[in-house]
Structure 1
Amino acid sequence: MAMLFRLLACLLLATPIGAAAHDVEDGYQLWLRYRSATPQLGARIASTARCLVTAGTPSLQLQAAVAELRLGVQGLSGQRLPVARELCAGALVLATPEAMPALRALKLPLQALGSEGYLLRSLRWRGKAVTLIAANTDTGLLYGGFAWLRAAQSGADLQALNQQSAPRVALRVLNHWDNLDRSVERGYAGSSIWDWWALPDMRSARYVDYARANASLGINGTVLNNVNAKAESLTAPWLAKAAALAEVFRPYGIRVYLSARFSAPMEIGGLKSADPLDPAVRRWWRAKADEIYQRIPDFGGFLVKANSEGQPGPQDYGRSHAEGANMLAEALAPHGGRVMWRAFVYSPEVGADRAQQAYDEFKPLDGRFASNVIVQVKNGPIDFQPREPFHPLFGSMPKTAMALEVQLTKEYLGFASHLVYLGPLFEEVLKADTLQQGPGSTVARVIAGGGPAALPGAMAGVANIGSDRNWTGSHFDQANWYAFGRMAWDPDLSPAAVAREWAGQTFGSAPAALDEIVSIMLASREAAVDYMTPLGLHHLMGTGHHYGPAPWVDDLERADWNPTYFHRASRLGIGFDRTPGGSNAVAQYAPPLARQFAQVRDTPENLLLWFHHLPWQHRMASGRSLWHELVLRYDRGAEKVTEFRRRWEALRPHVDAQRHADVAAALVVQEREARWWRDACVAYFQSVNGLPLPEGTRPPEHPLAHYKGLRFPFAPGHGG
């Protein structure tokens, strides 16, 4: 622990506070900048944080909370925050009932907070005006400390605080798709943050800052390695590296998980099989779990990708996903570990509809998974598309713990260069009502354990973090990390409120500028859908690297790897028929939704071509033809990015020069690529339908052959 304490000391002593350090910003400090917007705000913070009072033997979590509060108060007010044993007027008091029994006399509603929740309250205690940060555990105090700092930066009335909060979702976990050679699959922010070669002996201070950022959002777990896992990650040298990271993260309430390769007993264990019903294989996994917990006592468990995209799994032996997951669950159960078993699968044989395959494989297994198995399901039934309907497995497995998996790294949304705020996407799926257990059976309720079995669930985010100085490759991509953590903690938070929190802490702008930044953020996802995949189109991206448009691709090994498989455009019409007359994928949803999606007139237009194949002349709600509407949406999306670029330029006086220039440069790229998307897709679909462009519409800049000829062999983030 000596290394950890040195890092915490560096956090307090070496972080620049003075005005000179504020002149240039590069995004490293994320939303934890702790810079006062006005002298008045700094004075208010100083008056309500004159001393910091704790009680009991300080745990690692309490030490981390104290360090963060002292850092934040000094940065925001310019005043040092002394630690005291006795109350002062304007004290910040961090207390649990166990460490400070006098707290019980206040009869606060602590029971409802669980083990991670917190309470913030301004009150008079022992004759002094104080701010109480109370919780049942020191981890709750840590989250409460970050909540107080968030309130302080947001300009809340710190003399009239009355907040309490507890997480709705039990596990809030980042999934790093980081490889052992430091490459990152679908990574657009440099190489892996984990310097595997230097670990376990050399532990970067960046790991502490990573933990601080996650703890500030309530993220309580991290999967260190790619779901396309290497068996070597479970060998002794690599477990020592994982243990070193776990030691750094422990004070911040973060458990380490590892992606496990199902065939590890053969590859590193010398066995001839990985059959989950083989007693020798089961013994091997039990021994491996014992070994891991010896090194990492609070190890979270395994994430597993099996029988998908060539990965080994239980089906190789004629076994089910439940049998494979339960074998690993059995090994972890004595230690309190969990298995997160991904439902992103599709069979070796191409079926009628790729969107149906996960449901077909997993729905029959409901109730057959061990209680410490969580089935992890992507937000939609295809693959992190700009827009998809919610995955039909949500609500369909009431006897199984479920996790929602979303992607923060924007594999299909312009990588790191496109400004696309994902808060609205998260809200869209979290608030989607599955209707499987009656009205109100939202995806958020499913992952919160709201089904009949009341099993705790999870929300997982495929991380967008790398070695880039600004962490995520672009400044606005930090907002997606932030939104994931905040909305996993509380799925009822609105994307607008979260965007305003993030922007205020990140840019510290004047209210009018802050309004403009938030407005751009909230419009950005819909703009991207329009210039990429409007009206329910999906998977039009380039082959393999998924960079740019390629709706014409039709020659890949599997039919369901081709964009033409998904849009099915012909001279007569466009769209994938998932009604009873087509693949009948609508039948995987609750009957009221199945009936809605089966009818063209009842299907939301933003999902129209997901569920229906329609003639180009189909009349839309606007009165325009489908072809006219499609071109209009492409135009609208591209024009919106031009508008974003102009609006950002007008914010130059309100944003520091370096970050303003960084974002401005990225918006130039996004504007060019949005027009490329628009032109390439319009040119291709016009070549298919032979229809003239709507009157007054600009023709594509180049012939279709130009767009088809573009090649990107070294696009970032490709491969595992």
Structure 2
Amino acid sequence: DNLDGMVERGYAGQSIWDWWRLPDYKGPRYTDYARANASIGINGTVLNNVNAKATSLTAPYIAKAAALADVFRPYGIKVYLSVKWTAPMELDGLKTADPLDSQVAAWWKAKADEIYRAIPDFGGFLVKANSEGQPGPQDYDRTHADGANMLAAAVKPHGGIVMWRAFVYAHDNPDDRAKQAYDDFKPLDGKFADNVIVQVKNGAIDFQPREPFHPLFGAMPKTPLMMEFQITKEYLGQSTHLTYLGPLFEETLDADTYARGKGSTVAKVIDGTLDGHKLTGIAGVANIGVDRDWSGSIFNQADWYAFGRLAWNPDLSAEAIAREWAAMTFTPDPKLVKPVVAMMMGSREAAVDYMTPLGLAHVMGTGHHYGPAPWISDLARPEWNPVYYHKADATGIGFDRTKSGSNAIAQYAPPVAKMLADPKTTPEKELLWFHHLPWDYRLKSGETLWDGLVHHYDRGVAYVADMQKTWESLRPLVDPERFAQTKAFLKIQHREAKWWRGASIAYFQSIAKRPLPTGSDAPAHDLDWYKAQDFPYAPGNP
């Protein structure tokens, strides 16, 4: 959340933090927020955006954070703050933010002491550094460990921790973006202080509808790693698409890193059992705002709920969680629960089908990430362009991350790397993430890659149409207000799924030069029409 009330990548209205009226007025919704989180085991909240403003560390804003901490404390919830690396320079005129400079270290120690005087149970700092233009220790030829450890020393006397994000990629690094976090952090394994935990996104790019698990999981046995999931759906239809994220969370947590042999799941990495770590964590980029339903839609609440449930029991199934949520949210009547859970369980896969099938990724409109734009190729940095990720050309489609390409597969444990080296043994759902393949490559179904791609788009649209029919059949079992909202949002989702399908097929067909398979309709518009769509005021865009 930003200090002006805007929520970056938020799709549920403005921030619930009323910074202007804090600390004097603490609205009742803060207590409601604490109760909701405590009910599913969430025990901490970072109050501000990782793209932080130094102002968050000034005395007036520390007092505002302290007021929120007072509300949350009875519910077992600690407050954390994101910090801007150059805060000592911006707030007090220091000449440098070099983490090895004694004046810089002294500034952060004094600032930590000030915060803990106001908030005795303050949790610590979250840091985004040297990523997407944010400053950091690398600006001074220092490492991420140098930066994290300096902050860790400042909060350690008070029992605080530092959560240091591994979401990094540099404009001057020509290597595969998917490799850069591993390349930066793997050499630092064992060099972080014992109150630092490295926060790693579920995949190596950025919260895509589907990504393989991040190669850092299992690769840093001497360093505690925490998971970063996105509960808000920046790339998955934002607030109006019914795309239940429980299966995405479950898929990632169950993924086997093979770091210590078979059974070395991502869940065991982050809960500390694989490598014996006591400092553990899991983070969710929240979808909370001032909307009456908190999360932009009724069904988006299920993602918040699933995150909390899996945080404490990663062995739970997404389906069991969906049943719990549906029964508590609507009615325990099986006539509703069974079809609603069935809708939810296939909804994320449907979004993958109509957006990014067979391992495609990051083909969304740039900036706001709303809607399809696989044709964009003219932005300043290569990795900002969708064409960078799909690499479609006359010969085929996909990003070659094998030895003949970027060799990103080498960042995984040998059994995983061996599986991913061959398209025949690569899971088909991740095929084009790791391989550039001919349009006529034969899938396991026997159909060509081109035909299979089109059929995935078709299947995704059809699933949304089926959800509309299912929901309509449940009208007698749902109150009119929530029924009407969900019906309206499913209508939007169906329209946008068809838009995704049409735009993607129109673009890729212009490159593949192949006819549509029998039974698949042509896109509703020509490619120029799809390219002309413009959304200057899409929500959640910083």
Residues 577 and 612 in structure 1, CA contact (< 8 A), matched pair in contact too: yes
**Contact kept in structure 2, 1:446 and 1:457, CA below 8 Å:** no
In the alignment, the residues of structure 1 paired with residue 337 and residue 519 of structure 2 have an alpha-carbon distance, to the nearest angstrom, of 36
Size of the aligned set, in residue pairs, is 542
**Runs of at least 5 residues in structure 1 that lack an aligned partner in the other structure:** 1-177
Preserved contact between residue 350 and residue 558 of structure 1 (Cα < 8 Å): no
1:639 aligns with 2:462: yes
Partner of 2:277: 454
SS at the partner of 2:92? coil
CA contact (8 A) 1:231 1:264 kept: yes
CA contact (8 A) 2:243 2:351 kept: yes
Closer, same or farther in 2 for the Cα pair 1:510/1:452, shift >3 Å? closer
Secondary structure of the structure 1 residue equivalent to 2:226: strand
Counterparts of 1:489 and 1:441 in 2: how far apart (Å)?
18
What is the Cα-based RMSD across aligned positions, in Å? Answer: 0.7
User: Given that residues 193 and 466 in structure 1 are in contact (C-alpha distance below 8 angstroms), is that contact kept between their aligned partners in structure 2?
Assistant: yes
Do 1:369 and 1:400's aligned partners in 2 also have CA atoms closer than 8 Å? yes
1:408 aligned onto 2:236 = no
Alignment-derived partner of residue 225 in structure 1 = 48
Q: Could you tell me which residue of structure 1 aligns to residue 493 of structure 2?
A: 670
Residue 489 of structure 1: how far off its partner (Å): 1.0
Correspondence 1:313-392 to 2 at 5 A = 313-392=136-215
- Match status 1:486 vs 2:309: yes
Q: How far 1:268 sits from its partner (Å)?
A: 0.6
Equivalent residues in 2 for 1:600-679, closer than 5 Å: 600-679=423-502
Deviation at 1:508, TM superposition (A): 1.4
Match in the other structure for 1:500:
323
Identity of aligned residues (%): 67
**Aligned position for 1:596:** 419
Paired with 2:285 and 2:135, the residues of 1 have a C-alpha distance of 21
Distance in structure 2 (CA, Å) of the matches to 1:185 and 1:466: 11
Deviation track 1:96-152 (CA, whole Å, cap 9, x = no partner) reads xxxxxxxxxxxxxxxxxxxxxxxxxxxxxxxxxxxxxxxxxxxxxxxxxxxxxxxxx
1-structure distance, mates of 2:258, 2:279: 20
Give me the whole-angstrom Cα distance separating, in 2, the residues matched to 1:271 and 1:352: 34
Aligned partner letter, 1:532:
M
The amino acid of 2:163's aligned partner reads M
Aligned partner of residue 601 in structure 1, secondary structure = coil
Cα pair 2:269 2:275 within 8 Å, conserved:
no
* Map 1:502-581 → 2, pairs under 5 A: 502-581=325-404
Does residue 695 of the first structure (1) align with residue 518 of the second (2)?
yes
Counterpart CA distance in 2 for 1:508 and 1:350 is 53
Q: Is the 8 A contact 1:509 1:655 kept in 2?
A: no
Report the equivalent of 1:181: 4
Q: Quote the residue 1:205 is aligned against.
A: 28
Distance of 2:59 and 2:331 partners within structure 1? 46
Return the offset for 1:391.
0.1
Structure 2 Cα separation of the partners of residues 230 and 568 of structure 1: 37
- Residue 273 (1) aligns with residue 96 (2): yes
Matched residue, 1:245: 68
Counterpart of 1:473 in structure 2 is: 296
Deviation at residue 438 of structure 1 after TM alignment:
1.7
SS at match of 2:424: helix
How far the C-alpha of 1:631 sits from its partner, in A, is 0.0
Of 196, 204, 222, the match for 2:19: 196
Q: Secondary structure at the match of 2:283?
A: strand
AA matched with 2:53: K
Alpha-carbon deviation of 1:456? Answer: 2.0
Q: Distance in 2 between matches of 1:348 and 1:699?
A: 39
Contact persistence 1:350–1:560 (CA under 8 A): no
Per-residue CA deviation, residues 591-629 of structure 1 (Å, 9 max, x unaligned), is 000000001110000000000000000011001000000
| Residue equivalent to 1:584 | 407
Between the aligned partners of 2:473 and 2:401, the Cα distance in structure 1 is 45
Tell me how far 1:323 sits from its aligned partner.
0.2
What amino acid does structure 1 have at the position aligned with 2:519? Answer: G
Offset, 1:439: 1.6
1:509–1:654 Cα contact (<8 Å) kept? no
1:378 and 1:404 in contact (8 A); partners too: yes
Superposition TM-score, scaled by structure 1 size = 0.75
Q: Which runs of 4+ in 1 moved over 6 A?
A: none
CA contact (8 A) 1:447 1:456 kept: no
Question: In the alignment, residue 349 of structure 1 is paired with which amino acid?
Answer: D
* Aligned-residue offset at 1:509: 4.2
Is the Cα–Cα contact under 8 Å of residues 361 and 433 in structure 2 kept in the other structure? yes
Instruction: Kindly indicate whether residue 278 of structure 2 is the aligned counterpart of residue 442 of structure 1.
Output: no
User: Does the residue aligned with 1:181 lie in a helix, a strand or coil?
Assistant: coil
Q: How many Å apart are 1:510 and its aligned residue?
A: 1.3
Q: Deviations over 1:662-687 (max 9, x none)?
A: 10000000000000000000000000
Instruction: Map 1:82-121; keep pairs closer than 5 Å.
Output: none
Whether the 8 Å contact between 1:680 and 1:704 is mirrored in structure 2 is yes
Find the residue that maps to 2:290 and give its secondary structure: coil
Secondary structure at the aligned position of 2:466 is classed as helix
2:528 corresponds, among 666, 687, 705, to 705
Residue 452 of structure 1 and its aligned partner are, at CA, apart by 2.9
Tell me the SS of whatever aligns to 1:406. Answer: strand
How far did 1:453 drift? 4.2
For residue 260 of structure 2, give the secondary structure of its aligned residue in structure 1.
Answer: coil
Instruction: Please tell me whether residue 257 in structure 1 is matched to residue 119 in structure 2.
Output: no
Alignment partners' CA distance in 1, 2:519 and 2:319: 35
Is 2:239–2:297's contact at 8 Å kept on the other side of the alignment? yes
Question: For 1:402 and 1:315, how far apart are their aligned partners in 2?
Answer: 21
Does structure 1 retain, via aligned residues, the 8 Å contact 2:171–2:381?
no
1:34-89 alpha-carbon deviations (Å, 9 max, x no partner): xxxxxxxxxxxxxxxxxxxxxxxxxxxxxxxxxxxxxxxxxxxxxxxxxxxxxxxx
The gaps in structure 2 that reach 5 residues or longer are: none
Corresponding residue for residue 88 of structure 1? none
Write the deviation string for residues 264-292 of structure 1: whole angstroms up to 9, x where unpaired.
01001221111000000000000000000
Which has the higher Rg, Structure 1 or Structure 2? 1
Shift of 1:513: 1.2
